[in-house]
A and B are shown apart, each in its own frame.
Chain A
Amino acid sequence: MKMETDQLIRTLAADSAYRAPSVGFVLALALLAGAPVSVAMFFLGLGFRPDVMTAMDNPFFDLKFAVTLGLAIPAFIVSLHLSRPEASLHGWGWLLAIPVGLLVAGMAGEMMLPQRLPAMTRLVGSNSRVCLTAIPLMSLPLLAAALIGLRHGAPARPAIAGAIAGLLSAGLAATLYASHCPDDSPLFVATWYTLATALVTAIGALAGSKVLRF
């Protein structure tokens, strides 16, 4: 059996009534399906920190959520943008600087306040190892979901789209982790959250280059 191009065109035209859902819808749906897994991991393995109610009055505790959501939300927007084949990061990359800006502002703010502990102690924190394992582990279900969602798109640069999916999932996982994490110093966040995020981003880029090609 042979398939001439004219015949293929006729076949595609016959399928023209099929309407695919938008990439944004599929991505949101996939994340909603993956999120309960990460949330379950959080409650089974970590849980809220005991003083979470009083911690909420601490602006540096709240800043962690601004930073992590300030990463996840722009990464969601940028990954949707990159799911179009003609799109590039040009003009959109600055969105990813939002969490960096928030962190820098936080570090500057902390520096201006009197501190009980020296900077190095605040940076090292009390459980950086948990941070470095929990964020990547909790982000894996979300990363898989994001990649499944983005497969519905047509990214021209699969590795970059995968890296942004990594930022997105790390941002969401870090949002969960932040409510367990006893360290509130922006120095701690800038060091360990960033390292954990970089690891997930690298995994995302690697996986993306494999699964996001269309």
Chain B
Amino acid sequence: MREREDEWTGLMRSAISGDDAAYHRLLRSVTPVLRAAARRGLSRAGQPVDQSEDIVQDILLAVHLKRHTWDADAPFAPWLFAIARNKLIDTLRRRGRRVFVNIDDFSETIPSEPAAEAAPASEVAAQLKSLPTRQREVLQAIAVDAASIKDTAVKLAMSEGAVRVALHRGLTSLTARLREQ
């Protein structure tokens, strides 16, 4: 536990000094921990656990966009868990109403449709559709087609700088839309 958290702090410091691989590794390493925390939080609140992935994605976006508020001299884990707690509480507060509505839906639909449905596309994916075309294309190329910034620039006939800007703007507006929904 302690070792893992020290490793995170080290990875985040490397990430801030420009090591992209360290940043990727850090995000992959924190995700299972965040997922477990989100599941625990949801089940404690008596909510369906299958929504945990939305919370995980919400937390990851906030971690990414607010990482400049982390003090590089402080350990990373307390900062991460503060963001995670904030997002979890926020989601539960928002879900409060929605889940109530869903329960009503269930009582009407369950008898006729007993089969479990596949998990719906994540909220991030749903909001992705509403982004401006350029931002969506860039996000799509990098997220889904696993293209590099360079490949994306060639494919969309944009400069690499423009791809970077569209990528960052896309992530920022995605987060804003998730917050407003």
Contact = CB atoms under 8 A, between A and B. Distances in A.
Interface of A: 1-5, 7-23, 83-86, 153-154, 156, 213-214
Contact of A84 (B57, B71, B140): B71
A138 to B, nearest CB: 30
Nearest to B78: A86
B31 A9 contact: yes
Task: Describe B's contact surface by its main secondary structure.
Answer: helix
B82 A2 contact: no
A3 B57 contact: yes
18 contacts: A1-B121, A2-B121, A3-B143, A5-B53, A5-B56, A5-B57, A10-B24, A10-B142, A11-B139, A11-B142, A14-B142, A15-B164, A16-B24, A18-B164, A22-B68, A85-B83, A154-B83, A214-B66
Contacts of A214: 62, 66, 86, 179
A1 B60 contact: no
B39 to A, nearest CB: 13
Interface of B: 15, 18, 20, 23-24, 27-28, 31, 53, 56-57, 60-62, 64-71, 74, 78-79, 81-83, 85-86, 90, 121-122, 124-125, 128-129, 139-140, 142-144, 146, 148-149, 164, 167-168, 171, 179
Given A3-B143, A5-B53, A20-B65, 5 more contacts: A8-B60, A17-B20, A85-B66, A156-B85, A214-B86
Given A154-B62, A214-B179, A85 B79 contact: yes
B57 A8 contact: yes
Contacts of A86: 74, 78-79, 81-82
B82 A8 contact: no
A86 B84 CA distance: 10
A11 B135 CA distance: 12
B124 A17 contact: no
Contacts, number: 114
Given A85-B82, A86-B82, A154-B62, A5 B171 contact: no
Contacts of A13: 20, 23-24, 27
CB-CB nearest 5 A-B residue pairs: A86-B82, A85-B82, A13-B24, A3-B125, A154-B66
Nearest to B136: A1
A154 B24 CA distance: 22
B69 A83 contact: yes
Contacts of B23: 12-13, 16
Given A9-B24, A11-B143, A18 B122 contact: no
A15 B121 contact: no
A190 B86 CA distance: 37
B69 A154 contact: yes
Contacts of B15: 16
A88 to B, nearest CB: 10
A154 B79 CA distance: 10
Contact of A15 (B81, B125, B171, B179): B171
Contacts of B144: 1-3, 7
B86 A2 contact: no
Contact of B128 (A1, A15, A23): A1
B164 A156 contact: no
